[in-house]
Amino acid sequence: MATQASASTSDFIKNLGRMYGTYTGGFIGFILLLAVLEQVGVPNKILGYLFVFFTLAVYAIIGVMTRTAEVSEYYVAGRRVPAFYNGMATGADWMSAASFVGMAGTLFLLGYDGLAWVLGWTGGFVLVSILIGPYLRKFGAYTVPDFLSFRYGGNFARFLGVIVLVACSFTYVTAQIYGTGIIASRFLGMQFELAVFAGLVGILLCAMLGGMRAVTWTQIAQYIVLIIAYLTPIVILSTMKYGLPVPQLTYGQAIADITAREQQMLANGLSTAAALKPHIQPFINYSPLNFFAIIMCMMVGTASLPHILMRYFTTPSVREARQSVAWSLLFIFLLYFSAPAYAAFSKLEVYTNIIGRNLSAIRPWLFSWGELGLIKICGKDASSIDAVIAACKAIADHPGVVRLQDFVINTDVIVLSTPEIAGLPYVISGLVAAGGLAAALSTADGLLLAIANALSHDIYYKMIDPNAPTIRRLTVARALLVGVAVVAAATAATKPADILAMVGWAFSLAMAGNFPALVMGVWWKRTTATGAICGIIAGFGLCLFYLVTTRYFPGAGVKYFGMTSLLNPLTGAPVVDIAKAMALPNAMESFPTLAHPLANKVGWFDLNNIACGLLGAPLGFAVIYIVSKLGREPSAQMQAYVDEIRKPRGRTVLEEKTT
């Protein structure tokens, strides 16, 4: 029986290349088929639906086919996902709706300063590989709190680990479901709430029956869709404009053109010096401190996020875990080093074909986005030429051509509109929508699984009922998965205002809560349970305090905690006059809207609250070190376990009951 199972497994692994090769070919064939359908006159709306439902159906079929009733399959995919494929799955796990849709837009708006996110969301994998991931794989955990509990004396440390995990994963998963709603509603004209619900069903079909095993094999399929969708439009655009299908090289020319055009716009009075933010000039949106703080927090946060770390629990060996991190970053790199090309091409288009144009000669691609309120010219939605002309006439002394300060674009539009800018057929737009959905769904799957596994494995099985039989454990795991998903979807449907900022917060919270305890647990044998527990509480607590105070109780932060205004990175002047704001009647208001003069605009040392991990993590390290030094050194047995974790050879330290 056992040999039969392992024989069929190795067949399965051997056939992976052929299976996913066929799948990729099938997907490309499907795109071509839709392209033909478009030519014979099938309406765009139908094509969009076909794209979304076909891809969702494929994910669901994979999810159902890979269902499992085994605990180790459910939690760690049986630990036999080859490095290369795990790298692809991690790529999809990692790249969210924000990476796919938002990143290029951020780069468009912020220019060089936006690259802090590109750097921060890639470099962290170096830390995963050299400091944490492979050691956790050797340890043999199912979840990150598993390790904390074992290394730091039991369920209290486990419970803290679960709190950190839920704090950083829940808002993140809500943002993904929100992202599926946005994409589906924009492309298919579905109602937002309905789109959220459809996304939820897609996520559940993938994750519920097969846990980690199903999520792994669907994430690979999703990676293939998302990378084809991201690269296709920009490769075509690059070939059309520069005759070379490598946008990552050709956008150097676009950047030179942008810089030249910026000077020209200033000279022609098409832009004021205040409205123009030169694309390659550093540190005009973030001060150097905040630029590097964001890089640090995103990198260290990467190495602390449970849904990423747990992907490396699924490889067959420690060696493959390390190789797998390298593959992951390679697959992620393919998207991230293309995002600045999107930004540059879009910016060049806007600067040359919109700014400086006579109002009546604006290119028509932007009106469909204007109708959705995503592009504004002269302060009004740019829904048609007449609307634009009327809006600009209302402005005194308007020269009749679009000036830079007249033009406002929502960052999501950059990637989504590129096919239209290039004049490509609708099928490419549909492809981009399918890619954005794949990115959002795959990340949501990984996050949901991380949360549900922490609740079912750590809270239910380890803390409430350690004798639960397998069937009940898996039933509880699935019920919790559905429960968490429904709560997240319900939260997303209310369109919470802070949702996108919260994704950034998740990295800082993970960094402050997890990183010191995980690193010290492996790299310093002398770390004691008390030290780690105090360190997690102190580091996570400080980070959370800084976030909550600066965002939700800014008045109290100024009054009681000596916070001052953040500074304008360009001029060094305070962004808000604290004395004046504190004199307002609503100064001490709690949970104010973002319109509140102080919300997100106060802090210590001019540190943006998104980088609060930079306060929490060093405090965590210091507390762990000092408290550990004060206590007795860990038992010889525990130190021997740490030695075991450091050697790839041999059995895992933690042996789970699997049946």
Q: Are 138 and 645 in contact (CB under 8 A)?
A: yes
Query: Which positions from 126 through 165 interact with another protein, judged by CB under 8 A?
Result: 126-127, 129-131, 134
Q: Are 384 and 390 in contact (CB under 8 A)?
A: no
Which pair of tokens denotes residue 70? 């085994």
- Residue 338: CB minimum distance to another protein, A: 10
Q: Which residues contact 234 (CB under 8 A, 6 or more apart)?
A: 247, 338, 341, 342, 345, 418
Question: CA triplet 510, 213, 652: central angle to 5 degrees?
Answer: 70
Q: Are 312 and 135 in contact (CB under 8 A)?
A: no
Query: Which positions from 281 through 310 interact with another protein, judged by CB under 8 A?
Result: 282, 288, 291-292, 295-296, 299
- Residue 130: CB minimum distance to another protein, A: 5
| H-state helical runs in 553-612 | 554-561, 578-583
Check residue 125 for interaction with another protein (CB under 8 A): yes
Closer CB to another protein, residue 325 or residue 566? Answer: 325
- Residue 438: CB minimum distance to another protein, A: 22
- Residue 88: CB minimum distance to another protein, A: 15
Check residue 643 for interaction with another protein (CB under 8 A): yes
The Cα 154–Cα 343 span in angstroms is: 49
Beta 602-603 vs 380-381: how paired, if at all?
A: unpaired
Closer CB to another protein, residue 59 or residue 291? Answer: 291
- Residue 611: CB minimum distance to another protein, A: 14
Check residue 115 for interaction with another protein (CB under 8 A): yes
Check residue 123 for interaction with another protein (CB under 8 A): yes
Lay out the site mask for another protein across 256-285 (x = CB under 8 A, - = otherwise): x-----------------------x-x---
Give φ, ψ of 574 to 5 degrees. -60, 140
Of positions 466, 649, 655, 659, contacts another protein by CB under 8 A: 649
Q: Which residues contact 344 (CB under 8 A, 6 or more apart)?
A: 251, 254, 255, 258, 279
- Residue 100: CB minimum distance to another protein, A: 17
Q: Are 88 and 327 in contact (CB under 8 A)?
A: yes
- Residue 649: CB minimum distance to another protein, A: 5
Query: Which positions from 169 through 198 interact with another protein, judged by CB under 8 A?
Result: none
- Residue 642: CB minimum distance to another protein, A: 10
- Residue 293: CB minimum distance to another protein, A: 11
Lay out the site mask for another protein across 337-376 (x = CB under 8 A, - = otherwise): x--x------------------------------------
Q: Which residues contact 130 (CB under 8 A, 6 or more apart)?
A: none
63 class by beta-carbon count within 10 Å (0-12 exposed, 13-18 middle, 19+ buried): buried
Closer CB to another protein, residue 13 or residue 537? Answer: 13
Closer CB to another protein, residue 295 or residue 441? Answer: 295
Which pair of tokens denotes residue 19? 């299976």
- Residue 84: CB minimum distance to another protein, A: 12
Check residue 122 for interaction with another protein (CB under 8 A): yes
Query: Which positions from 478 through 537 interact with another protein, judged by CB under 8 A?
Result: 523
Torsion of CA 491, 494, 497, 500, to 10 degrees: 50
Give φ, ψ of 381 to 5 degrees. -55, 130
Which pair of tokens denotes residue 416? 């989504």
- Residue 150: CB minimum distance to another protein, A: 20
- Residue 439: CB minimum distance to another protein, A: 19
Which pair of tokens denotes residue 294? 């964001």
The Cα 300–Cα 578 span in angstroms is: 32
Closer CB to another protein, residue 92 or residue 391? Answer: 92
Closer CB to another protein, residue 102 or residue 202? Answer: 102
Of positions 605, 646, 657, 658, contacts another protein by CB under 8 A: 646
Task: Please count the residues of this chain forming the interface with another protein, following the rule CB under 8 A.
Answer: 47
Q: Which of 657, 629, 423 is nearest to 534 (CA)?
A: 629
Question: Which of the stretches 49-57, 314-322, 547-555, 586-594 binds another protein when contact is defined by CB under 8 A?
Answer: 314-322
Q: Are 118 and 296 in contact (CB under 8 A)?
A: no
Question: Which of the stretches 125-133, 170-178, 455-463, 483-491 binds another protein when contact is defined by CB under 8 A?
Answer: 125-133
The Cα 360–Cα 608 span in angstroms is: 42
The Cα 153–Cα 133 span in angstroms is: 21
Q: In what helix (H) or strand (E) does residue 381 lie, and over which residues does it extend?
A: strand 380-381
Q: In what helix (H) or strand (E) does residue 190 lie, and over which residues does it extend?
A: none
The Cα 86–Cα 331 span in angstroms is: 11
Question: 375 forms bridges with which residues in the sheet?
Answer: 409
- Residue 251: CB minimum distance to another protein, A: 8
Closer CB to another protein, residue 118 or residue 489? Answer: 118
Check residue 86 for interaction with another protein (CB under 8 A): no
Check residue 329 for interaction with another protein (CB under 8 A): yes
Of positions 24, 185, 239, 253, contacts another protein by CB under 8 A: 253
Check residue 252 for interaction with another protein (CB under 8 A): yes
Q: Are 450 and 165 in contact (CB under 8 A)?
A: yes
Check residue 330 for interaction with another protein (CB under 8 A): yes
The Cα 36–Cα 29 span in angstroms is: 11
Q: Are 152 and 529 in contact (CB under 8 A)?
A: yes
- Residue 457: CB minimum distance to another protein, A: 25
DSSP-derived 3-state class of residue 375: strand
Closer CB to another protein, residue 309 or residue 538? Answer: 309
Q: Which residues bind another protein (CB under 8 A)?
A: 112, 115, 118-119, 122-123, 125-127, 129-131, 134, 248-250, 252-253, 255-256, 280, 282, 288, 291-292, 295-296, 299, 317-319, 322-323, 325-326, 329-330, 333, 336-337, 340, 523, 643, 646-649
